[in-house]
């Protein structure tokens, strides 16, 4: 399914286009497209070493872009109210990010740090990592992905605040174009109480702390 952001009541929601879903290419068509790219690159897709490459590439794409099949609302649906009075921030640091740049379709790799301030209910911590994966496993820009993760947590958990930081390298910079290695891109979204200096500072202190 192809997904797009549509504006609904001054908010953005992920919608699946029914027309695009109906016209999604078949696996055979996708494999044929890979063979076309191999020929365009100057090689022969019929030679032994490349004979099964189209199948492998399509299978890999299913894994790379499985986020299109993920439902953020379903991931964050189950929450827990019995938290023994816990009312401070919940922080997950160093969540692995593996995405693909939507401009060149090459890897984006790094880490995400996610926090929220519960408003009476909490969600299983693995669900926060799954939300990051749901948006990372799509064709993305880092800026959009960062905002989408914050939007989902804010919308479905309705916490007092959300903080998301993504720190990543982009192969569209390291392997082509300017070819600058060791350049990290940092994007951030602070919502609610995390816009207050004391909570922002506490969040930074926690994600920088050494185990």
Q: Is 175 annotated as a binding residue?
A: no
Residue tagged active-site, from 142, 148, 154, 189: 142
Half-sphere exposure of 139 (CA within 13 A, CB side): 9
Convert 18-54 into a string of H (helix), E (strand) and C (coil). Answer: HHHHHCCCCHHHHHHHHHHHHHHHCCCCCCHHHCCHH
Closest CA to 152 of 174, 167, 141, 136: 136
Residue tagged active-site, from 102, 109, 158, 202: 102
Residue whose structure tokens are 């299109």: 68
Residue tagged active-site, from 101, 158, 200, 202: 101
113 catalytic per annotation? no
Residue tagged active-site, from 104, 109, 200, 202: 104
Residue tagged active-site, from 6, 103, 180, 196: 103
170 catalytic per annotation? yes
102 catalytic per annotation? yes
Q: Is 100 annotated as a binding residue?
A: no
Residue tagged active-site, from 31, 133, 140, 172: 172
175 catalytic per annotation? no
103 catalytic per annotation? yes
Residue tagged active-site, from 100, 113, 148, 170: 170
Exposure string of 181-208, with b = 16+ CB inside 10 Å and e = fewer, is eeeeeebbbbbbbbeeeebbebbeeebe
Q: Is 172 annotated as a binding residue?
A: yes
Instruction: Find the helix or strand (DSSP H, E) in which 61 lies.
Output: helix 53-64
Give catalytic residues, as residue numbers. Answer: 101-104, 142, 170, 172
Give the residue numbers of the binding site: 101, 104, 172
Give the residue numbers of the binding site for Zn(2+): 101, 104, 172
């Amino acid at each position: 399914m192809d997904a797009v952001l549509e504006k609904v009541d001054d908010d953005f929601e992920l919608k699946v286009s029914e027309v695009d879903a109906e016209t999604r290419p078949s696996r055979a068509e996708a494999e044929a497209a890979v063979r076309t790219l191999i020929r365009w690159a100057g090689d022969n897709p019929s030679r032994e070493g490349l004979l099964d490459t189209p199948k492998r590439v399509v299978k890999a794409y299913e894994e790379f872009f499985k986020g299109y099949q993920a439902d953020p609302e379903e991931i964050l649906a189950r929450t827990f109210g019995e938290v023994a009075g816990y009312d401070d921030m919940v922080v997950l640091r160093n969540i692995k990010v593996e995405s693909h740049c939507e401009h060149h379709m090459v890897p984006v790799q790094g880490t995400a740090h996610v926090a929220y301030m519960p408003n009476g209910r909490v969600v299983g911590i693995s669900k926060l990592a799954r939300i990051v994966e749901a948006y990372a496993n799509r064709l993305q820009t880092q800026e959009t992905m960062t905002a989408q993760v914050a939007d989902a947590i804010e919308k479905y958990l309705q916490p007092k605040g959300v903080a998301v930081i993504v720190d990543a390298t982009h192969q569209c910079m390291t392997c082509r174009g300017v070819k600058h290695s060791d350049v990290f891109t940092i994007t951030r979204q602070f919502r609610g109480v995390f816009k207050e200096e004391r909570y922002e500072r506490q969040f930074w202190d926690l994600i920088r702390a050494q185990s």
